Structure 1
Amino acid sequence: MVRIAVAGGSGSVAREIIDALVATNQHEILLLSRKDAPPPEKAVPGVTWVKANYNDVEQLAQVLQGVDTVLSLIVVHLDTGNVAQRNLIDAAVRAGVRRFAPSEWATSSISFEYMPWYAGKAEIRQYLEDLNKDKKILEYTLFQPGIFVNYLTYPYQSAKHVPMMHTPFDFNKRRVLIVEGSEDVGVTLTTAEDVANVVARAVEYEGEWPAVGGIKGTELTVRQLIQLGEKIRGGPFNVEKLKAEDLKAGVLKASWIPKLEHYSFSPEEAEALSPKFVAGLLLGKSAGAWNVSDEWNRLLPDYQFTQAEDFLTEAWRGKP
């Protein structure tokens, strides 16, 4: 039994992970949030809610006393200057925390050149690497699952907490946007449930955490993913191939644009940002950013991952 602190714990991915941790009935869980605790009737069973001040290292260090593992799910693009995560790391060191997982939960360790909203992840990776440069001060892992396969059931909800996202792979309307020439680039698809379950097992893992912690549910090429979609949805997809040079110039020459939906953006902001977000997503995918490694698969060989074909076949069964 260990004491676990989940920073940004009121977010959707955090809730998936907290549910998996609570289900083990083996840990003391602290949910750190900037928000006030909800009323008792809305409290998360088995979890202690702590209002955290991420600008105060001393307060955070007091909160983290006796904590073995910190899982950060702070929204990176909202953490200006990485103040919250840096302070959280400093507080973890001060409190004697053994393990730390920074806010990753997505792409591989390659450059975020095309996805500037993830730039903070690269800076925190370097911060942790520098911290351990001379000797191991804080054990950490970068949990990287690729794309949540749940997103491919949009607009139908297929995760308990993670909201669906409209992506360039639109199974609902049988259409796809890709970068010209990227058909054979690999993509990792992992269910939100599998990610949460792996984290719950990683917390109990007795060996040393790997610095890079890939979680690979299913690996498919873009071409194979399109073929899978056509098989599951029972008909051909309209595949629009966009030129990389246009996307790099911020021009999205497509007949449709996936709608960016995130609680941190107003509808007007989301509409304005959608073309740039989709362009970056497509360029990142074509560069292989969404294909991750399999460190946790190898460290947890008994865990059976849900395969994308099985998950999507069941999710789309009976859907128009």
Structure 2
Amino acid sequence: MVKIALAGASSELAKEILDKLVATQKHEIIALDLKKFPSSPGVEWVQTTYEDKAELSQLLKGVDTVICFFWDAETSKRLIDAAVDAGVRRYVPSEFGTGVETEACLDVLSWYAPKIEVGHYLENLNKEKKVIEYTKFQYGGYTNYLGYPHQTSKYITTFPVQFNFEKMHALLVEGSLDDQITFTTVDDVVNVIAGALEYEGEWPVVGGIRGSNVTVKQILEMGGRIRGKPFEIEWLKKEDLEAGELKTDNYARLPFASVPKDALEPFSTLVHRGYLLSVGRGAWTVSDEWNKLLPDYEFTQVEDFLKTVWAGK
């Protein structure tokens, strides 16, 4: 049994992982958060501002692994420094999601800039010698988004991005049928991360978790087979998206309380434009390092997930 610290522990993915770790009964868990929560069996909740490095170092004494779930770069660097001072062995940055092509896509995925900055900070920290072991968990998009509006995980908020299986409507960029996307279920992500915490070997810096690699065309074909009718495809021009225009009203307004009402429309447009363009550049295709390191784990394939959610509906 080792001590695990979750920073930003009230976030949606953090709560998914927290439930899993508590269920294994294999770890002592400290949950750090800006808000105050009552401690529960197996979890010690600690309120912190993350602003005092000395306080963080004290809180992390005896911790084996820190998992970070917030994206603020300066706060993340302070947490990393505190972890090093406290003698923490392993660190998980808030890298979750997109793959190694993300940095090349920051012109359209600007909100990912903090995680790239933190990745460089960790890389530089270990440049001369390894100061702290870390892995970037990358898994593409959640397969669960294809199940919207059905609730297929306990905490993760979903919404349709490219593919709306409820309405059988797809937003596609012209020429994108052969573009690849990695889809991994929330359960698979959580289970692999739990397995990685018990893995005795050295963690890979790039930690790809690959559920399924599928093309846009394959998703359309699966939808047609399972729903018994074809997608209505709305084609968008790449040059319009690159010019900052999303020429459709058929996109989801992001259901996040953290986004102010007056920013909801422009931010939703920005996210959809960025996603559609970055798919074509490979940002949502990830490697399979953790698949290889945990070879006995069986991943849920996209078509099996879709059949479970949509067959007969």
The bucket for the TM-score relative to the shorter chain is over 0.9
1:96 paired residue among 87, 101, 106: 87
Q: 2 CA distance for matches of 1:45 and 1:176? A: 44
Q: 2 CA distance for matches of 1:300 and 1:109? A: 21
* TM-score normalised by structure 2 residue count: 0.96
Instruction: Summarize the Cα distance change of 1:266–1:318 in structure 2 as closer, same or farther, 3 Å threshold.
Output: farther
TM-superposed deviation, 1:22: 1.3
Instruction: Summarize the Cα distance change of 1:266–1:255 in structure 2 as closer, same or farther, 3 Å threshold.
Output: closer
1:301 paired residue among 285, 292, 295: 295
TM-superposed deviation, 1:255: 4.7
Q: Does 1:107 align with 2:98?
A: yes
Secondary structure (helix, strand or coil) at the match of 2:115 reads: helix
Secondary structure (helix, strand or coil) at the match of 1:230 reads: helix
Identity %: 51
Q: What is the total number of aligned residue pairs between the two structures?
A: 310
Q: Which amino acid aligns with 1:94?
A: D
Q: Which amino acid aligns with 2:45?
A: W
Q: Does 1:60 align with 2:56?
A: yes
TM-superposed deviation, 1:183: 1.3
Q: Deviations over 1:42-99 (max 9, x none)?
A: x55421101122111111111100000001111x2xx2xx121011100000000000
| Moved beyond 3 Å, runs of 4+ | none
Q: Does 1:11 align with 2:11?
A: yes
Aligned to 2:260: 266
Aligned to 1:197: 191
Q: 1 CA distance for matches of 2:109 and 2:159? A: 17
2:168 paired residue among 164, 174, 185: 174
Aligned to 2:47: 51
Q: Does 1:145 align with 2:144?
A: no
Mapping for residues 125-144 of structure 1, pairs under 5 Å: 125-144=119-138
Q: 2 CA distance for matches of 1:7 and 1:231? A: 42
TM-superposed deviation, 1:178: 1.7
Aligned to 1:21: 21
Q: Which amino acid aligns with 1:14?
A: A
Q: 2 CA distance for matches of 1:167 and 1:232? A: 19
Aligned to 1:37: 37
Q: 2 CA distance for matches of 1:8 and 1:100? A: 14
* Equivalent residues of 1:53, 1:59 under 8 A apart: no
* TM-score normalised by structure 1 residue count: 0.94
TM-superposed deviation, 1:249: 1.1
* Equivalent residues of 1:166, 1:260 under 8 A apart: no
Q: Does 1:209 align with 2:237?
A: no
TM-superposed deviation, 1:263: 2.4
Q: Which amino acid aligns with 2:46?
A: V
Q: 1 CA distance for matches of 2:312 and 2:258? A: 33
Q: 1 CA distance for matches of 2:281 and 2:233? A: 19
Q: 2 CA distance for matches of 1:236 and 1:317? A: 14
* Equivalent residues of 1:168, 1:258 under 8 A apart: no
Q: 1 CA distance for matches of 2:225 and 2:29? A: 42
Aligned to 2:112: 118
Root-mean-square deviation over aligned CA pairs = 1.3
